[in-house]
Structure 1
Amino acid sequence: MSRFAIGIDLGGTQVRAAAVDERGNIHQRMEERTDAQAGPDRVLGQICGLVDTLLSVCDPSAITGIGVSAPGPLDTELGLALDIPTLRGFSNYPLREELQKRLSPPVRLENDGIAAAIGEWQFGAGRGFQSLVYVTVSTGIGGGIVADGRVVRGRKGMAGHVGHMSIVPDGLVCSCGGKGCFEAYASGTAFTKRARARIAECKETSLASGGEALDSRSVFAAADNGDPLANVLVDEEADILGRGFVNLIHIFSPEIVIMGGGLSEQFERLQPRIQAYVTQWAMPAFRDVRVVRAALGQNSGLVGAAALAFFSQQSPTEP
């Protein structure tokens, strides 16, 4: 009989759940908008409701466990949500314990960036590699690392907060309180903010009519239509991403860098210039590292969370 795991991807905007088999195939998937300001009881009620629905359409005896992907910082050793800024009340909250009280299958908890890295490593673009860096570029920037066939978790399981390495000395203030963070310059939020500021200085652009409704898709669409400012903005974004990726390549020496998140939908436009940046600025021995798009798309974290449930113990080849 086939085994399944339930993956939960908890975010500040959406909470997603899926039944996933041992090959990483999604058999049932559902989502709903996270009631992010209602507090932990309400959010955990949403998770349990999704799980109950999945169990009603799957054979419960085939479910081996539940893996939960959540934004950090998390202490995954103790199962604590230390301080999730997008979810009210999740400060020093025993997330794993409270979920386990409500759910029968065993529950594992993982940072969302690490879970997505596991998903891509086990079932996506990183399959077959022993060392990789995964970077999600969306509202913020997060990540996860696999080195020598093992997931890098670090102290308290908090490794992989790649969005908060500084790439500009004494630069823009980040949401974390630091200055010059990768996230403050290269996230989807930063990209849109930079576009709005530049539009105010340049009226000869089709983007001027976007106003507050302007988003990253609008900028990429304008670039595809030949708008000069939009193309400059896109090229700048690729260069900033390249700078961050080069830093990560030098630190972790991965075989590949995998880019996921909302901005990866524009990967075909961004990739050539990102790769060119790596070729120009990485040390010669590192210049052959490829930057690739996440194969699982928006399901990387969901599938990675489910993968956790298949492995109760860590080994060199398991997450």
Structure 2
Amino acid sequence: MTEHPVIRHPAAGRQGGSIGIDIGGTKIAVGVLVGEELHEFRSHPTPETGWASVLDAVAALVLPLLERFPETDAVGVGIPGPISQDRQRVLFAPNIYGFTDVPVVQGLRERLGVNVSVENDAKAAALAESGLGAAQGSSSSVYITVSTGIGSGIVLNGRLWRGFHGVAGELGHVVSVPGGPVSGAGQAGTLEAVASGTAIARDASYALNREVSTAEAFALAQSGDRIASRVVQGAMTRIGLAIADLQKMLDPEVFVIGGGVASVGPYFFEHVQAAANEAAEGFARPQIRPALLGSQAGVIGAALSALIDRAG
């Protein structure tokens, strides 16, 4: 069994435990939060045959964990898309095939036989990073994940902000380039459509006239390739502009960026910070930090969300 960081969120010490599930466009990750420790972190490819197959795959991963950890009595699941106001259904998850108006809570309760909480995946990660990660100790923070898509979560005065309709923080669906490429949600020119890992790979492949992955695009850019540099720097600039806008509107103490694209490291953060500073000139300078919890953030946040919901 792999050992993982100690969890020191107030909800984590409550009696019993919870299972966190992070459903992404390419993989499903799960883990068990018992007391103050996360155990059994593992992942599996996300099925591409519709939402029922995805829930079946989740059940196949979780049922053995429920048997092995009988003290767990709550399950939290994070999904990359907006959640219904009553937090029972996923309205749509543009990066998961067939995931539209899905009764996630009912579907998983039927498959697992335990209480289930659903949360947007970026909001779950925001909760984890705020309480346990890079934003720990801050009163307000914004978490942004830049990966297959772009998502975000907002913590204000120590509490996760979902908004009146439950969809606050959908930064990836904010229009960045009017009339630009169409996103998986069917909207033109959103930040996700022009600055996500998917968008970077698409634009680099077109510009270089061959298949190029996101990782290769960044590697080429850092080695001095002029065309790749234009592609990735354009994406990073748009992310920086979005952060500057949020700084002006919300004035959070810190921004935390995670996800596969952010794992590029200093090259990514230096360019995003520079773009944000320039766009925020005359206002507070955005404080941008790399996420600390990595691929575990969504799982930890989903598990914490289930514990918080259970406690009422």
**TM-score bucket of the superposed structures, by smaller chain:** 0.7 to 0.9
**2:94 corresponds to 1:97:** no
Look up the equivalent residue of 1:17 and give its one-letter code: V
Contact 1:12 1:36 in 2 (8 A): no
Partner residue in 2 for 1:282:
280
Q: Residue 283 of structure 2: SS of its match in structure 1?
A: helix
Partner residue in 1 for 2:131:
122
In 2 relative to 1, CA 277–224 (structure 1 residues): closer, same or farther, beyond 3 Å? closer
Identity of aligned residues (%): 34
- CA deviation profile, 1:191-235 (whole Å, cap 9, x unmatched): 1222123224xxxxxxxxxx22x1111122223333333334333
Map 1:189-200; keep pairs closer than 5 Å: 189-200=198-209
Give unpaired runs (5+ residues) of structure 1: 201-210
Partner residue in 1 for 2:47:
35
* TM-score (structure 1 length as normaliser): 0.85
Contact 1:64 1:310 in 2 (8 A): no
Residue 47 of structure 1, aligned match among 45, 54, 58: 58
CA RMSD of aligned residues (A): 2.3
Q: Between Structure 1 and Structure 2, how many residues are aligned?
A: 299
Give unpaired runs (5+ residues) of structure 2: 1-12
* TM-score (structure 2 length as normaliser): 0.87
Question: C-alpha distance in 2, partners of 1:181/1:84?
Answer: 15
Contact 1:37 1:87 in 2 (8 A): no
In 2 relative to 1, CA 198–26 (structure 1 residues): closer, same or farther, beyond 3 Å? same
Question: C-alpha distance in 1, partners of 2:114/2:16?
Answer: 13
Partner residue in 2 for 1:20:
33
Look up the equivalent residue of 2:106 and give its one-letter code: E
Residue 171 of structure 1, aligned match among 163, 172, 180: 180
Using the TM superposition, give the Cα deviation of residue 87 of structure 1 relative to its aligned residue in structure 2, in angstroms: 4.0
Question: C-alpha distance in 2, partners of 1:258/1:35?
Answer: 29
Question: C-alpha distance in 2, partners of 1:111/1:76?
Answer: 12
Q: Residue 180 of structure 1: SS of its match in structure 2?
A: coil
Map 1:1-319; keep pairs closer than 5 Å: 3-23=16-36, 25-40=37-52, 42-58=53-69, 60-61=70-71, 63-75=72-84, 77-200=86-209, 211-212=210-211, 214-287=212-285, 289-312=286-309
Larger mean CA deviation between 138-147 and 223-232 belongs to: 223-232
In 2 relative to 1, CA 246–222 (structure 1 residues): closer, same or farther, beyond 3 Å? same
Contact 1:22 1:307 in 2 (8 A): no
Partner residue in 2 for 1:207:
none
Look up the equivalent residue of 1:96 and give its one-letter code: V
Larger Rg: 1
Look up the equivalent residue of 2:294 and give its one-letter code: G
